[in-house]
Amino acid sequence: MAKSPEVEHPKKAFGWAARDASGILSPFNFSRRATGEKDVTFKILYCGICHSDLHMVKNEWGMTTYPLVPGHEIVGVVTEVGSEVHRFKVGDKVGVGCLVGACRSCNDCSNNLENYCPKSILTYGAVYHDGTTTYGGYSDIMVADEHFVIRIPDNLPLDAGAPLLCAGITVYSPLKFYGLDKPGLHVGVVGLGGLGHAAVKFAKAMGVKITVISTSPNKKTEALEHLGADSFLVSTDQGQIQAALGTLDGIIDTVSAVHPLLPLIGLLKSHGKLIMVGAPEKPLQLPIFPILLGRKIVGGSCIGGLKETQEMIDFAAKHNISADIEVIPIDYVNAAMERLVKADVRYRFVIDIGNTLKLSS
């Protein structure tokens, strides 16, 4: 096992960054910290483009600091490990998702829910324990604490497995937590994008009956024939919605645009659960009477802890679940962002970092 020396200088790194709210990304030189005792350093091979990246590069959530190197669906191969690292060795296939730090001592951290830690540290655009800015996966190397590194099983393709580190855990965790993973239940999935198509795949593997709910009638064939959904509803078709009232045990709502909740609440059986995992920029209207009259629940969920993320990746490998992707070179990233605004991707862009980042430099 290649152990890092006790004293080492910061590592030179290269990636693509946004400099301002125009969101345009361009080449960027920066530094990663030296491999610490508990750190894993890996060469990045692929990084997925998440809708969050689009919001962040344009500062649409009002929390961006520039320069910003996005990317939290990061996979690659270990090149170095610290002297206190015991779970990984050089040559292992690994990934890092949305988090690179947490306090490790609060109630949530103690329950393997680092994602809800008040002091959790995002993979990019945040401040790390040492005061430095975190930079994401649109770059050549990554250094992360062993606790926040995920092992990627050999039978899970790295490129199509990368988006699971965000999109996968974002839908897997609520399916499990809210008890919507039981065979025979009937669950709706709103939106058939990066999150939605992953939700369909995981739920089907759990034995759940799935109805895809979309504003786009032209996605019906894709949902039923390619992804294996059991039924399809056009959310703007009042006839279809009326016919399906009170039929769903739960709904995973992946839509990140403003949309009406009343029709969705109506689709739920009594005691049904509407779980929000998309993040619209503006508040949604929540009608209360339909919730009272059916003892229904509107809940939320945000990614997952590290233990559950590893569980999700292992489940995906066992059931041959991966994202449907379009692999792109790094110098196409700005065009990909423009297409993402228009939902013109099926269903996740993945940057081929290993083969194209150096060429673009």
Residues of the chain with confidence (pLDDT) below 50: 4-5
What does the block give as tokens for 99?
């988090």
pLDDT at residue 339 in the model: 96
pLDDT at residue 274 in the model: 98
Per DSSP bridges, beta strands 186-190 and 248-253 are parallel
- Whether 201 contacts 195, CB under 8 Å: no
Alpha helices (runs of H) in the chain, residue ranges in sequence order: 51-57, 107-110, 158-161, 167-177, 194-205, 220-221, 238-243, 262-267, 289-294, 306-318, 333-341, 353-360
User: Measured in Å, how far apart are the chain's first and last C-alpha atoms?
Assistant: 31
Tell me, what DSSP letter sits at residue 3?
B
Q: Is 299 left (phi over 0), alpha (psi -120 to 50) or beta?
A: beta
Place of tokens 């961006």: 64
Report the C-alpha gap between 95 and 103 in whole angstroms.
Answer: 21
The pTM score is 0.94
